[in-house]
Chain A
Amino acid sequence: GAGVSQSPSNKVTEKGKDVELRCDPISGHTALYWYRQSLGQGLEFLIYFQGNSAPDKSGLPSDRFSAERTGGSVSTLTIQRTQQEDSAVYLCASSARASGGLNEQFFGPGTRLTVL
């Protein structure tokens, strides 16, 4: 079946502009994650959605970052007033919440964001 898809694959924007990154998870997966991968850094957790529960936003670096998940499926990560330090690859992953909580994550190809 189809995997996790993300769009756009690349985004170049000017400092101060807003950007929206989209993630389409695997159908039926109830959990959705956003991560940021900067050059030389590991995966930085941003936000986590699980079903209809309130999202875990503990990883969002500032109030310029926000995310929503509509209808329990597609998610959009929005970065307002982008800064150069926001340049990174933004990864989305989804998982099926099985009994006992085993949650192997399936990753999308990422969106490479460059802020000039």
Chain B
Amino acid sequence: AQSVTQLGSHVSVSEGALVLLRCNYSSSVPPYLFWYVQYPNQGLQLLLKYTSAATLVKGINGFEAEFKKSETSFHLTKPSAHMSDAAEYFCAVSDTQGTGGFKTIFGAGTRLFVKA
């Protein structure tokens, strides 16, 4: 069965500082991995996705994530935080082989706070 663990329900950084949001997954088959973002009072939208084409994935708004199979991790990073990055971020895993019907499992989310 697939699962996703996001370490830290809340992360606070200063504006201009590095953003690191952690995600570890478990999957019995090669996974597809996603990061979604939910800005205040808005719906979820896709930030980036890993589909096995490249281990370093670049997304919107300067975010990127690196797939590390040996660590079963897919951490999200951004070199310099901006106030507009304050949001809730969700890591998600999906089965690539259809054994789970491509059901997507979401992590509990990490709320990012950016201090001026």
Which of A21-29, A60-68, A72-80, A99-107 forms contacts with chain B? A99-107
- With an 8 Å Cβ cutoff, the count of chain A residues facing the other chain is 25
Which residues in B have their C-beta under 8 angstroms from that of A91?
43-44
Tell me, in angstroms, the Cα distance from A54 to B85 when the chains sit together.
39
Contact with A along B14-45 (1 / 0, CB 8 A): 00000000000000000010101000000111
Contact A107 B43 (CB under 8 A): yes
Contacts of B44 in A (CB 8 A): 43, 91, 93, 105, 107
Count of interface residues, chain B, beta-carbon cutoff 8 Å: 26
Taking CB atoms, residues of chain A closer than 8 Å to B103 are 33, 45, 48, 56
Task: Please determine whether A109 and B102 come into contact, CB atoms closer than 8 angstroms.
Answer: no
Q: What are the 3 closest A-B residue pairs judged by CB atoms, nearest first? A: A42-B108, A43-B106, A107-B44
24 pairs, A vs B, C-beta closer than 8 Å? A33-B103, A35-B106, A40-B9, A41-B108, A42-B6, A42-B90, A42-B107, A43-B106, A43-B109, A45-B104, A48-B101, A56-B101, A56-B103, A91-B44, A97-B102, A100-B51, A101-B32, A101-B98, A103-B32, A103-B102, A104-B49, A105-B36, A107-B36, A109-B43
A-side interface residues toward B, CB under 8 Å? Answer: 31, 33, 35, 40-43, 45, 48, 50, 53, 56, 91, 93, 97, 100-105, 107-110
